[in-house]
Amino acid sequence: MNEERVLALAGLFQASAIAHQLANEGRCDDLALDASLASVFRIDAPSVIGVYGNVSGLRVGLRTLIGQLDENSRDIAVTRMVVTVMRLERSLAHHKDLLDELQQGIVSAKRQVDHFGLNSPQVFSRLAELYAGTLSTLRPRVMVTGNPQWLQQPVLVERVRASLLAAVRSAVLWRQIGGRQWQLLFHRRQCSMLARGLLTGTTLDNR
C-alpha cells in the first residue's frame, strides 16, 4: 500500500460516505462533494492527487477510511457500499460498450460544467442520468438506504447518483494504480497510518 492508493481509496470512501449522508440527512460536506464531483471530469490528470485537486479536498474520505479501518467505529452501510462499488467497477470493466458510453457522457457533461458551473442543477441531473443509464444496468446494484423524506426528493436522488458515479470513478482509479481488495485485509494498519499521515498533513499546511 502506498500514498497514491490510499488517496484513491479515500476518494472512494468519500463519495460513498457523501451518498450515504445525503440519503440519511439530506445534506453533506460541500467541499467534499465538490472534490468528488470534480474528480469525475479529471480523466487525464497527471497524478492521483491531481484527480482530486488537493489533499484537503479528501479530508472527509481520509477520516471515513480511518474510521472504517478501526473496527470500533465502522459504519457497516458505508463499508457495504464501498465493497459493492468495487465489484461494480469490475463488472464495468467487462462491458466496453458501457464504458465508452460513460466516457462520452462525461465529456458531454463537462461542457455543461463549463457553461453552468460544477454545482449546477443541470450537471447533477446529467450525471445522475448517466449513472442510471449505464452503471445502474449492471450487477451488483449499489443499494442506498436512507430516510424516505430525502429519497423521495428528485433533486436529492440526483445528488446521490452523481456521488455514486464519483465513487466508481475512484474505484477505477484505485484499480488502475494497482489497488486490490485483499490489500485492505492484509495492509489495514499500514493503510490507516498512511491515511492518518495525509490527514495530519492537510491540517498542518492546509493544502
What does the DSSP assignment read for 99-165? HHHHHHHHHHHHHHHHHH-TT-HHHHHHHHHHHHHTGGGSSSPPP----HHHHT-HHHHHHHHHHHH
Q: What is the mean pLDDT of residues 36-53?
A: 94
Q: What is the mean pLDDT of residues 30-58?
A: 95
Q: Encode pLDDT of 146-175 as tens digits.
A: 999 999 999 999 999 999 999 999 999 999
Query: Which CATH number goes with the domain that contains 100?
Result: 1.10.3890.10
Measured in residues, the chain has a length of 207
Q: How far apart are CA 168 and CA 165, in angstroms?
A: 5
pLDDT at 184: 85
Q: Which three cell numbers stand for residue 140?
A: 451488483
pLDDT at 150: 95
pLDDT at 71: 73
Q: What is the mean pLDDT of residues 6-33?
A: 97
Q: Encode pLDDT of 93-134 as tens digits.
A: 999 999 999 999 999 999 999 999 999 999 999 999 999 999
Contact assessment for residue 163 and residue 130, using Cβ atoms and an 8 Å cutoff: no
- The position carrying cell 445534506 is 27
Whether 207 shows a pLDDT value over 50: the answer reads no
Q: How far apart are CA 187 and CA 85, in angstroms?
A: 20
Cβ contacts of 140 within 8 Å, gap of 6 or more: 84, 87, 88, 91
pLDDT at 73: 73
Whether 60 shows a pLDDT value over 90: the answer reads yes
Vertex 181 angle, CA 58 and 45, to 5°: 40
Contact assessment for residue 35 and residue 166, using Cβ atoms and an 8 Å cutoff: no
Q: What is the mean pLDDT of residues 80-104?
A: 96
| Tally of domains in the chain | 1
Domain range for 190 is: 3-205
Instruction: Assess whether the previous peptide bond of 140 is cis (omega < 30° from 0).
Output: yes
